Structure 1
Amino acid sequence: MSQHVRQIAKDASIVGGATLLSRLLGFFRDMILAYVLGTGIAADAFYVAYRLPNMMRRLFAEGSMTMAFVPVFSRLREEEGDERAFAMPRAALVWLLMILGVLTTLAIVFARPLTLLITPGFADDPKLFELTVELTRIVFPYIIEISVVALCMGVLNSYGHFLAPALATSELNTIIIIGAGVAWLFHLDVAHTLAWAVVVGGFGQVLMQQPQMRKFGFTWRGPWSLRDKGVARMGKLMVPTAFGAAVYQLNIVIGTLLASYLPTGSISYLYYADRLVQFPLGVFGVAVGTVALPGLAKLAASGKTGEFTDTLNASLRLTLFICLPATAGLIALADPMVRVLFGRGAFGADAIAATAGALVAYGAGLPAFACVRPLYAAYFALSDTRTPAVTAAACLMVYVVAGLALMGSTAHVGLALATSISSWFNVLVLGFVLRKKLGGSWFAPGRTTLWGAILSLGVGIGAYATAGHPYPALAGIAVWAVAYMALASLFRVEEARMLTDFVCRRLRRRKGQA
């Protein structure tokens, strides 16, 4: 296995560990929110309002800017040095503040028609509609804060530092938990308190990145220009990427729109189920795509096609090795997971069953959700942002058709299943086109995917057998994870041995330092 692949695995493990902490805090946060908000009017209003700036975040920040920023900034550093390259993020910040400042102002002023556009079904309930409008006006400025965080992430990732950006979400979750606690203790309006907590948490996320930025010699004070060539180059890459991200966010908007016509609580069921799917996806699936981009970009720029292909193949195999057992576990333990994590307070038996059904449907698409990330990294490294954008548009059509066909008979579960179907379509199309670019049969699943699928099936069957006892079933997840890794190592799956060796070295190092 090449050094590039080992570095990707190492960095992905670091990001995955930091994200694991964030996800655990996120689960605790959602448990608190499920208790104080439930799945009623306040919950639907808050999650819709919170979704709007997050949608813009993925469009302007992580969905396009970060992916376009890393290759351009890395090349500037190599060609012209750090001092010249530092002018680029400064100029990018000014552009961000101008563009997002205007959008935020418009969103606050026109919050009412914006809410009506996103959730027309809410118009039938004046109380729900007005609450959503109020919360949208409070939360929307978060897009500015999180976009600055994404810009900092681009700089730090270019230097091979991934930890600080990965920990940023933990800070936000902590602030939201504190906000929920304050609202409960002092009998404040929970939804409004949480909305303000999001804004405060976003500012904290920005501050968290600054010490690491300074360690690499970067300061926001210094020369910059609105006509910066690096920003112009980044902007050209962002156009098709932003279109693709816009299509993806339109997918979310349409899903919210369709769910608004379903019974009250449907949006919340989908939200909580998506949160559970995001746990394994964020811990390792997204991590591989994040850390793979800088390495793939360097290999593509140097014309090392063979090593580029090998690195991408290994990234996909590593992604599947982790996500296949996670998929089996999510589907097998959907009910006990929802019951233990959220089943208390205002979150009753009906909400548990409805959320578990959505979780099973989302779980079926987990491997596809994860594999899209390294595939996107490969396209961006090759400076091809058009193909992912066109494919995303096709996926939107697949989602709409599937969602309309399924929601009539299966309600919100049909919308979750439509998401999985469109994601698998996305992976297949991206893989087919990439095969033509790289030539030949570029992805060979090999022993990793074969043994991963066989062992994951065993994990799923075993976990399902324990599902009738919720707490022991969830406690057994660690046992299944250890058994999966041990058996994979026994059958000489290279990815299992590599990850095990890395963890053992880290533990020995910590023990030695102690």
Structure 2
Amino acid sequence: MSDKKLIKSSVIVMVFIILGKVLALIRDALIAAKFGATYVTDIYNFALGIVYLLTTISYGLTTTFIPLHTEHLQKSTKKVRDKFVNNVINMSSIFTILLSIVLIIFAKYIIYVFAHGFWNDPKVFSISVEITRIMIISLIFISLQSVITGVLQAHKEFYEPAAMAAISNIVYIVYLVFLTNKYGIKGFAIATVVGFFMQFAINIPKYIKLGYRYKGNIDFKEKEIHYMFKLMIPVIISTSVVQLNVFVNRSFATNIFFGAVTVLDYANKVSTLAYEVFAIGIGMIVYPTLSELAAKKDVVQYKKALGKAINTILLIMVPASIAIAILREPLITIIFKRGAFDNQAAKLTASALLFYCPSMIAYGVRDILNKAFYSIKDTKTPMINSFIGIIMNIIINIVIIKYMKVSGLTLATSISVIITTILMICNLNKKLEGMEIRRIIDVFFKVVSSSVIMGAVIFIVNKTVVLKFGYGLKASIMSVLVSFVLGASIYFVSIFLLKVEEFNHLINSFLKRKNIEK
């Protein structure tokens, strides 16, 4: 993919993701207003956590499918290509349906093990079992869309996969606005299933346009399928461990106080805003490129593409983490503080958010590193790294939870993910016999320097607004808007003066495109 097309795709993908996140914020604000930080939202977030934990199977499927299908597009006939895709769809669907049935049957035992706090109240337990069983149905649609989006991304078609979140969030918002009072949390669980179905359905037209047609053939003896599932196992384990890490935190939170799971979840949602908008979008686009370069064994261009991706992540995630840490209180006020979500819930969420912020940078970098390992068909290293991370997280949780409560859970996450990301950089650097580490470190320090200057300005702006106008909604909106304009301007000027290559390249490409249009 050329630089111009890469930039264009990146921008459009990020626009779709930003739209999805804006709608997600509206969704979360409506959830907070309708249900507050109560056992009802704890149940919903816990059930959704189970779904996300099991989506790691689908993630593993997509991740291993893309490099293999990329090779098919380069070397195989259309008949072989289509047979492989249909075989993957059919086998994964059968497995997911069987898994869903088992999980629905044993739902109450899952809750007993992972959310023991719900067991103490019969009403809470009964509702949690019902909601969990409904939401498990989502796994079937998630499995289908994982293969379809894998096909699209292998063809470097990114727009539909990027728009999935926006589509599902529209479903949730419609339900929360018009139907919540009548059907409550049970209806919202059903709406969640519908949302996942819509994520699958939006990809179908492009899939058909690319020339693919569904057939019911299944070949359990196909060697390539066996190879793919062999690669999948470490990916599933490593990604499951990451989701299990979140799940473990929620399990710890169920024993702190009712509403703790919701506080933890809302803090996590705000901390992952920039990550989900930019890091996931960049990772989605760079992964097929890395897979293609790995297939061609073009080591030089592979390292350059990897270095650019990591530096681009740093350019975005470092200032974002600092800005969110400083503006945590006005952000929580704007997004959640209304209706049943009171001042106490807002303060607890803001405190938890502060300790989540460092993890934003590490998660962004680690996502690119995972893609790099998967593109060279090394799925074991990320798996081992994930195990190290969850063990560290559990140990730190046990030590500090009694002193810091929910904030201790978020601090433990940040510490563990930073250490495991550093370990992954060392492993990949050794495997590739060098991955432009000096250049990455140079960009990192330039970005940190610029972000600190930006942070100082934002801190002064926020303090000034608070002293003059207090902590209300209007003051919070004013603080965030003024901080964004001044902070972003100062950061971009600093980055430009420090001559960060990736930023200057984006500016030059944009100016060239404007000149051509004129």
Counterpart for residue 64 of structure 2: 68
One-letter amino acid of the counterpart of residue 499, structure 1:
L
Distance in 1 between residues matched to 2:358 and 2:183, nearest whole Å: 37
Using the TM superposition, name which of 298-307 and 99-108 deviates more.
298-307
Following TM superposition, where does structure 1 have runs of at least 4 consecutive aligned residues deviating by more than 6 angstroms? 3-6, 505-509
Distance in 2 between residues matched to 1:374 and 1:413, nearest whole Å: 27
* Cα displacement (A) at 1:94: 1.1
Counterpart for residue 325 of structure 2: 331
Q: CA offsets per residue over residues 308-346 of structure 1, 9 Å max, x none?
A: 112211111111011111011110100110011111100
SS, match of residue 226 in structure 1: coil
- Which aligned pairs between 1:237-316 and structure 2 lie closer than 5 A? 237-316=231-310
Using the TM superposition, name which of 447-456 and 402-411 deviates more.
447-456
Distance in 2 between residues matched to 1:342 and 1:278, nearest whole Å: 15
- Which aligned pairs between 1:129-140 and structure 2 lie closer than 5 A? 129-140=125-136
| Residue of 476, 481, 505 corresponding to 1:470 | 476
The reply on whether 1:51 has 2:49 as its aligned counterpart is yes
Q: Is the 8 A contact 2:90 2:218 kept in 1?
A: no
| Residue 250 to residue 504, structure 1, CA distance change in 2 (3 Å) | same
* Cα displacement (A) at 1:457: 0.7
One-letter amino acid of the counterpart of residue 362, structure 1:
Y
- Which aligned pairs between 1:156-235 and structure 2 lie closer than 5 A? 156-184=152-180, 187-221=181-215, 225-235=219-229
* Cα displacement (A) at 1:181: 1.4
| Residue of 436, 449, 456 corresponding to 1:454 | 449
Counterpart for residue 121 of structure 1: 117
Using the TM superposition, name which of 459-468 and 201-210 deviates more.
459-468
Distance in 1 between residues matched to 2:137 and 2:298, nearest whole Å: 43
Distance in 1 between residues matched to 2:393 and 2:423, nearest whole Å: 15
Q: Is the 8 A contact 1:338 1:352 kept in 2?
A: yes
Alignment length, in residue pairs? 505
* Cα displacement (A) at 1:263: 1.1
Using the TM superposition, name which of 210-219 and 241-250 deviates more.
241-250
Q: Is the 8 A contact 1:270 1:412 kept in 2?
A: yes
Q: Is the 8 A contact 2:457 2:486 kept in 1?
A: no
Counterpart for residue 351 of structure 2: 357
Distance in 1 between residues matched to 2:12 and 2:240, nearest whole Å: 30
One-letter amino acid of the counterpart of residue 182, structure 1:
F
Query: If the length of structure 1 is used for normalisation, what is the TM-score?
Result: 0.94
Q: Is the 8 A contact 2:91 2:218 kept in 1?
A: no
The reply on whether 1:368 has 2:362 as its aligned counterpart is yes
| Residue 55 to residue 459, structure 1, CA distance change in 2 (3 Å) | same
Q: CA offsets per residue over residues 397-425 of structure 1, 9 Å max, x none?
A: 11011111121100011111111111111
| Residue of 136, 139, 144 corresponding to 2:140 | 144
Q: CA offsets per residue over residues 122-147 of structure 1, 9 Å max, x none?
A: 11222222111111111111111122
Q: CA offsets per residue over residues 364-408 of structure 1, 9 Å max, x none?
A: 111101001110111011111111101111111110111111211
| Residue of 468, 484, 506 corresponding to 1:499 | 506
- Which aligned pairs between 1:346-495 and structure 2 lie closer than 5 A? 346-440=340-434, 442-443=436-437, 444-445=439-440, 447-467=442-462, 468=466, 469-476=475-482, 477-495=484-502
Distance in 1 between residues matched to 2:507 and 2:94, nearest whole Å: 47
Query: If the length of structure 2 is used for normalisation, what is the TM-score?
Result: 0.93
Q: Is the 8 A contact 2:429 2:435 kept in 1?
A: yes
Distance in 1 between residues matched to 2:408 and 2:451, nearest whole Å: 25
Distance in 2 between residues matched to 1:4 and 1:261, nearest whole Å: 52
Distance in 2 between residues matched to 1:212 and 1:78, nearest whole Å: 20
Distance in 1 between residues matched to 2:104 and 2:281, nearest whole Å: 34
Distance in 1 between residues matched to 2:220 and 2:512, nearest whole Å: 47
The reply on whether 1:104 has 2:110 as its aligned counterpart is no
* Cα displacement (A) at 1:15: 2.1
Distance in 2 between residues matched to 1:503 and 1:470, nearest whole Å: 33
Counterpart for residue 311 of structure 2: 317
Q: Is the 8 A contact 1:179 1:194 kept in 2?
A: yes
* Cα displacement (A) at 1:508: 8.2
One-letter amino acid of the counterpart of residue 458, structure 1:
I
* Cα displacement (A) at 1:35: 0.4
Distance in 1 between residues matched to 2:208 and 2:282, nearest whole Å: 26
| Residue 495 to residue 465, structure 1, CA distance change in 2 (3 Å) | same
SS, match of residue 51 in structure 2: helix
Q: Is the 8 A contact 1:180 1:193 kept in 2?
A: no
Q: Is the 8 A contact 2:29 2:335 kept in 1?
A: yes
SS, match of residue 272 in structure 2: helix
* Cα displacement (A) at 1:225: 2.9
| Residue 507 to residue 306, structure 1, CA distance change in 2 (3 Å) | closer
Counterpart for residue 472 of structure 2: none
Distance in 2 between residues matched to 1:39 and 1:393, nearest whole Å: 31
Q: CA offsets per residue over residues 28-86 of structure 1, 9 Å max, x none?
A: 111111100100111111111122112111x2112x11110000111122121333212
What percentage of aligned pairs have identical amino acids?
Answer: 24
Using the TM superposition, name which of 196-205 and 478-487 deviates more.
478-487
